[in-house]
Amino acid sequence: MLRTDSVAPRQAVRSRIWLLASAALLAAGPAARAQTTAQPSSQPAAETSSVEEIVVTARRREEHLKDVPAAITAFSAGQLQSLNITGTKALTQITPGLNFTQSVYSPQPTIRGVGSRGVNAGEESEVPVYIDGVYQSFLPATDLQFNDVQRIEVLKGPQGALLGRNAMGGAINIITKDPTSTPHADASVSYGSYNQVIAKGYVSGGTDVVAASLAAVVNRDDGYIHDIVNGKEYGHTDDVSVRGKLVFHPTSH
């Protein structure tokens, strides 16, 4: 009986030792893992994410987009390319409030419902297009294919104080690339519905003192209106645009 009673306390002591050892191991595990994961956090991250800042000229001077007290939607050349925006009409896909309708004669842009409904050749748009600050005076000029674009700014609301006439609904400001002394050439051709062919070309080059660029776009299609009486097609497009740019950097010599 005495021998049986002495075994039970020894077994109880061993059980307590195993329990204490297991608890110590469990407590040490998270601490070791915490030390392992904490080491990388003591070093600064090598890479940080950044957001591209767009500089606009909506108020006739260069400003960061976030500092301009006006409703502006702006896109850089890289953003337009990644979104596959190839012309002013395609801007409606990424610009809230901008809309294009097509009349028999020309496109009719509106911003926030304000725009022109003219169908005559001499009428002008209430949402005009400016290319490098130059006013495009007639409606068909609002339908442009982008080629050498550096930045697009869509200004919403009346802009007559800064841009002048006919900007009651807003304006589309197109800023093209400046030519560089490094030779550069670019060309593309696309094909679409109604046998539409759009060909674009751009070339730039020069010296440190003077540089020039030349951009050209050809846009043609067969039209989408079929006359069942005479069998002819109407509403076709046959546009050719050429634009040149010259930059001169005078020196002291």
Domain 54-176 has CATH 3.20.20.70: no
Q: What is the pLDDT of residue 30?
A: 52
pLDDT at res. 207? 92
- Helices (H), ranges, the chain: 2-41, 77-82, 160-163
> In the chain, pLDDT over 90 holds for what percent of residues?
34
Q: Where are the domains of the chain?
A: 54-176, 179-253
pLDDT per position as a tens digit, 131-170: 998 888 777 778 888 988 999 999 998 887 788 777 888 9
pLDDT less than 70: residues of the chain: 1-52, 104-105, 118-121, 253
DSSP string across 53-80: PPEE-TTSS-EEGGG-SS-EEEEEHHHH
Full-model pTM: 0.71
